[in-house]
Structure 1
Amino acid sequence: MKFNTAILISILFLLLFSIESSYAKINQNQSYISGDTVTWKIGTRTFQSVISEDEVALFPLHPSRSNRTAIRAESQKLGRIIHEAGSLIITKSSTALRGTQHRERIRSIKNASFRRAAPVLYRNGRKAIGAIMVPTGEVVVHLAPFISAEVWAESFGVKISKKLFNNIILVDLNDAFDAIDFAKQIEDADGVIYAYPNIWEERTKRNDPLYPDQWHLENTGQQGGAVGEDVRIANVWNSYRGSGSIIAIVDDGLDEAHEDLTDNVLSGWGWNWTTNNSDPSPVMPDDGHGTACGGVAAARGFNLLGGRGAAPYAYLVGYNLLSNSTFDNEAEALSKNNSLIEIYSNSWGPSDDGLDLGLLTPVVEAALVDGITNGRNGKGSIFVFAGGNGQGEGDNSNYDGYANSRYTIAVSAVTNLGEQSYYSESGANIIVSAPSSGGADSGIVTTDVTGAEAGYSPGDGSPDPNYTITFGGTSSAAPLVSGIASLMLEANRDLTWRDVRDVMLTTARKNNPADPEWTQNGAGYWIHHGFGFGVINAESAVTTAHRWVSSGAEVSYSGYSSSPGLSIPDDDPAGVDDAIFLGGIPADFKIEYVEITFSASDHPYWGDLQITLTSPSGTISRLSELNPNGAGQQWDGWKFGSIRHFGESPNGVWSLNVADMSAPDEGTLESWSLTFYGTTSPGYEDTLPPTTPILTPKNGQSVSFPLLLDWSDCSDTGRGLSHYILEVDDDSSFASPIQFVTALSETQVSVGNGAWYWRVSAYDLADNYSVSTVDSFVVADAAPPEWISISALPSYFLNSNSQLVTVSIKISDNEGIDSIALDLSRFALSSSFAASQVDTESWTASFTVPSGLDSGIHLFKVSAVDFGANEIDTFANISIGAAVIPSATLNSNNLPEFVDGNYISLVPENISSTCAGILYQYRSLGDSEWRNIEASSNPEAGPPFSGIFWERPDTAVDGKYEFRVLGILASGAIDSYGILTLLTLDSELSTSTQFRDTVEGTITRIDAFEGDETSQIAGGILLSVPSSAISNTVWIEMIRYLSSFSPPLPSTLHQVGPAAEFNRIDGIDTFSSDVRIAIPIADTVISEEVGLYYYDGSNWRRVSNAWVSDSKVFAEVSHFTLFVPCTGALPAESTLVSVIIYPNPFIPNDGNSRNGLNFSVADPATGIIFENLTGQATIEIFDISGRLVARMQKSDNEGRYRWDARGIGGKEVSSGIYLAIISSGAERVVKKIMIIR
């Protein structure tokens, strides 16, 4: 730190001279402009543009829409408008001028409507809108971190118009050409990392090149579609893009390396059931189905590549199942990683030829049940399935055991006109529909397997072989719904699997409303066998999801059955009827899903039967329709699913009609049964605000600091309370309030004295809010701020030749600091030079001391004002030398303003090379006489200088003291000024000698391997000791002992190796660099035997906490501390050796008895406990710098003391390592405590 500080000061001196040197060159002929060409660099890149000879860019003074007409009128006076943007207008003159003539024409434009004019540049001379570049008259400058931007700008005579970050500033030259020249002139100046002219460029809205063709996302009528016949998703992406959601594409593979998928793929998560590895890539060249589905769901968006998925930032996992789709593999694919994967997108199922009923096998159904029960940590996996493409073959989605399951979301397809696609199967199980192919020339544009010979590319007709333009079917509709489900979960992670389904269907859009199939069910929902509840509406679904209050627990009612044994007349549309009457189900139970189990096993052609269910509300579910292909299988306990009765009550008569629609076969209606799934507390959209906050204080109540504004806890009947927004203003209209966002019903604020108005808004998780009444309070606080520390750097310099001084200020205040100002009038500067705030307690100010000041100490006043208008003043100083350069500044790290103790280490820094000695002095503030500090090392000869230790004399009472260091030349002449530091001593503590020096280092076990109970060490131990850590005579050697007895036992102590192999550390002198000691150790050495020892003059003593840990971990690092007594040696034995301290480490307020509970007077098990104390014991706590922070005495006979982890004055001590010195009579032990807050 000392070395870095010295370097920093040197750099500042060099920088100042460099700035002056650079400033002297500022008017030289350096420019980026050569003729009509402008060339500049940004980093290593070079940019070139050509100045247009007949165009001018005008920056309106007030570029608002309301005065656009007036701006245009003024612009037309200067030329024809050829381009407009929000912040500028470009005009074209009838006359072309070159070089300085064009420059002067631009500079001559003076118009009250424009803040400035500028040249128009074209990148590489190419005249196109996208190549326009207009210099703004500003320069972007990145300064080195140690440079004061204000001082730098003042040195160059430029104005800072904006501060960005990391010491990057925008300087305004008020002229585009001057700005270009200035950037060139300073680009290589000292302290400038880079500089270049600020440029306005035309920006196009970022888009994916194939997105305009993706009509399913935004239908503008392309490909002859109906405008708006899409999923209404574009606006959703302003808030949600699927971030954090994970979609598994269960299909024939996923091209993880595809350019438009790879950023979203979770590589290593996938699986391939053919190759049995984590690479889900397609197995066969034409396996492009899964890659296309992945693109529909979550192709990366807004990246200028390809198209866009519905959830453009969602994660994708590829499960290549279909090349080896056995029952067990299907079950595994639908349950793999279901605690992490949220959505399983399935664009597959049984054959769509209508020949067979597609059975959902028990093992696959078990996987679905596990998913909805345990997936997503109990909220349930989302299983989306394509409804099927077999309409033309007489197939029905209810014949598909996967899409027909109540655990899945079955999706059908509509065209770009909103009509049912010719292939899309109908069914009572269809939840929603989604846009897909089927209209004229309206394939879905999505990703294809990379390369011209893979996937759909051969014969596809797509201009880019990495994308297909012919994807479609319900295979495309399903991943589109999966992507929208991802957006819904991003909006509300609490949605269950039933919530996702319910939100989708309740917010679906009624497409093709003229279709006569549409009907309303008994709960008022519009339903359609082909569309389900309509086309999924992403905007409405996501908005509702955000506000959705989850459904209550699922309830089921079953056992309602009938076995009529009725003959089904052949080829008779009237068929036979049977009924089941339900009663007694609670009136508040609402149906979500109905399962119908049906048997007519003696009918040889199952496809002949039309099966229709009618609810008590009159809602019809067509479960089966005439299917000429359906033969060779029978209705034997087939389970139909219907969502069409959603929201209805089950009580009443349910009727079933079965009709044989084709000759010549007959059969029997053997049996049927009903099972109802639903809830007594359906989910709903939360639109009610929380209760209204009631405020305290109120009615102009007078308050003081710390100011705590409190209000009543609010409750919310919907999704739950989210947060509060507290507003405070001195105007009851709240035109510009101070705002605080909090999750608590109280907030501490800092405002100034006077009358204030305030109000609180309570928000719930659905963004509903309530606002309290406006109330008021009056602040009257007279407590002024308190200084913590003030320092000026450098505090000394040889002469005042434009020296840059930085003042660092630390201050605290209950209300908060409003401003800090320096009175620099004695330096011919401002009498109210403003400091800048760094953080809550830190402020800084930099100024340049003018030339010609006399030698000596120069004081300047520093004033602080808090928000209550309370003010405090103090003085800081700088010292200007003559013939003798003072030796150093004092180390501020060791000198806080308030010292709770009697011992101070004075360590010099920034030592001058002319200094041969240092004299340390002190005096009580107000005394005229300086006293030399009594120490054998004062004055200290050097270099090097390591400082001295000051023990407070018995005659020195509490109060303020000044310390100074005086430089001594080789001639013996002593500096007459010195460097001052002011301290306050505030304690009534023991004057006995304390342990003050610490050695902190690291023991690293080079290599370890597991043993039975101990670990051996192979290779050795590395000991690291920081430089300047030891200032007393201490010998440190690494040794080991061979018995369990405590040292000193010379007969059992053995050195690890000869001293020459690892050196001996003599602590008389400090070290210029870190000491690193490598100790080779035989492989047979047990790790517990190795320790760190020091010699006290008669015995070797072990530092007990420097043992190498026996943990079985490779290259473990253990920290140790060696405590060195100032005088004498530790006693050979102590009756305090059995003292224990626990918990250690101590972590207040964590509620964990293993670590620590906050101190409570009523609870004897809290705080830091010292146990096994003997008789009268004194406990003193020191921080690692040797500062006494707490002192306690134990006078009873219980042998215990509890410490509340607070220091002198009652303030909580901060996190860190502390030394506890416990003494009783002449005995003393030292322990270490760690506190973590």
Structure 2
Amino acid sequence: MPTYQIPSETGPLSLRKSTRLVGLKKTNENAEVKAVNAHVIPNLGGFEVVTLSGEEDIDKALDVAREEDAVAVGTHIYFAEGDNRPVVPTGVLYVEMAEGVGTEERSVIFDAFALEILEEREDGTIVCQVTPKSPNPLRVASQLSQLSMVHHAYPDLDVPLDQYFAEPRDGLLPQAWHLENQGSLRGVPNFPLKQGADARVKAAWRLLGNLGDPNITVAVIDNGFDLAHPDLRGKAVAPLNISSNSNQLPTGSRFGDHATPCSTVAVAAANGTGLVGVAPLARLMPLHGLTYSKFLTERMFSHCIRNGADVISCSWGTIDARYRPDSEHARSVRKAVTQGRGGKGCVVVFAAGNEGRDTVNYYATLPGVIAVGASTSSDTHASYSNRGQGLSVVAPSDGGWPIIAGRASWDAGNTRQSGARRYYVDGLDRGVNYKHFGGTSAATPLVAGICALMLSANPQLTSVQVKSILEATADKIGNRWEYDARGYSTKFGYGRVNAERAVTEALRLRNSGGISQPAPPVPTPPAPARAPNSSRIESGPAPKPTPAPARPTTPIRIGNGTGLYRFSVRNQAKTGYGLQMSVLAELANVLREVESAEKQYGLPVMVSISEVNGRTAFRILLGPFATRAEGIRARTRVQSVSGREPWLRSLSSL
């Protein structure tokens, strides 16, 4: 299969087309597609990943599937070199035109590829999507990137991200030592814990005099919510199935089970049975569907802002540099951190990751995010927990004695074990509704719950203040020499979270009135540099040019292009410079524009003829000018006459 070089903000991504997998978007979620041989992934970028009958020729098999009434869209699936995770193009593209390119030029290009504009942003980004008449979105992005009028064109891709769950490796007990650690657990005499190696959650409850504020909402973004679970029943508000943009969440083993334990760690109800979450009175906003897609990432965080999420918990991410979040992902998170909660900002919490590497989950290092690693029941670093700059704090999880969490009714557990050991390593059955749980997946919602308690104590705190307090009140664990002069460690961040101290500081600020300052803006990450006249994106960071402000223009009326014209045609050498005024698709309109430009500016006019996706495009340029300085002087003259600022370009690039 051929390899495609796909432009992306983090550098070219090499993809090869799958010989077995395709993606199908159905006209109805329950519709049956006859051509499907096996279901692989229920949702990836809005497509179901499947294998097809007659897959010996994947192109023909996909064409057959597309003919079925139940199939709205069919697409190929791809793989990055050396990676076995499927990649699907969602059909959305993020395009930025070169400086000086106007709406007429852009329209010609977008029409040539049959693209539909979804949104035009202030930073110059145009969000568009392919239509049934468009070529493959990967091919569109590649061809757009080769045009001199396009600064970049990035296709939106989705790829399965990593859920940061670790199977417990040590003996287990149901006691919630992570809320309060007394140094031992009843029934486990041979496994000592370290007294005080906990998150001080029960002490925070005593300080508050309650279990938190029922007006606080914790959003959990993940796969597999069992909202019928006894500890989650009746807690959900504003649910979202991210890919379908509906409030109906799918259930069953094929849709995952990770979201249920994560949710219960944060907000499991205090209902007299089962377990209790860190913020048991808080509401749950469940968002089903992990996604790398920029378009769907924006949807998920916008939903949280729009529906009043106070805290957003994300136990997933990646340390694969090919799929690190780019400026559009960062923009979505930054919007939540700065604009959520009426401008105070949503508190966004991400897991550091379970790979045991010196690389923190890239999502967790986005500006304004709280990055959470894991500590053990002995107040040591959990060996699987990623380390590195950007880590905020650690929180109790497994690696010593694990914690207990809710279990989805369809959760198959550890299939390598039998009986109760599938859910409880020590083999003691604690009921069908619970399981042992760990990893930074457990540590993250624990911290999200603590943030909910802080906002219960002081709802006026900004997201920046919550993060600052959480870090400043953390307990230093491990060796002193592991912390630098700032009190920071790449293993523990600023330390192990202490809910009691964090709530104390939140209350102090409320009582002292120290909550009126607005949150400082979260800086925008630098955009990667782009070599001049190159379609390849370099991975090194460089400041992104500030978009030019809108300029007044006096449009030239083209009319219907009819009439009698006299003109002379001479070949023009591709040397010097020209001022590009517009790009047109019809020869009759070209003649009228040339006549108008000559009269209005008193300058010679050139026409460059080229093809864009098989269609003829006519560029109208003033010139030629022997030097760049002459071109700049001519551009100033054009501006003074009409207010337009044409694009000064080298004729050698035509």
Query: Normalising by structure 1, what TM-score?
Result: 0.26
Larger radius of gyration: 1
Query: Normalising by structure 2, what TM-score?
Result: 0.49
More helix by share: 2
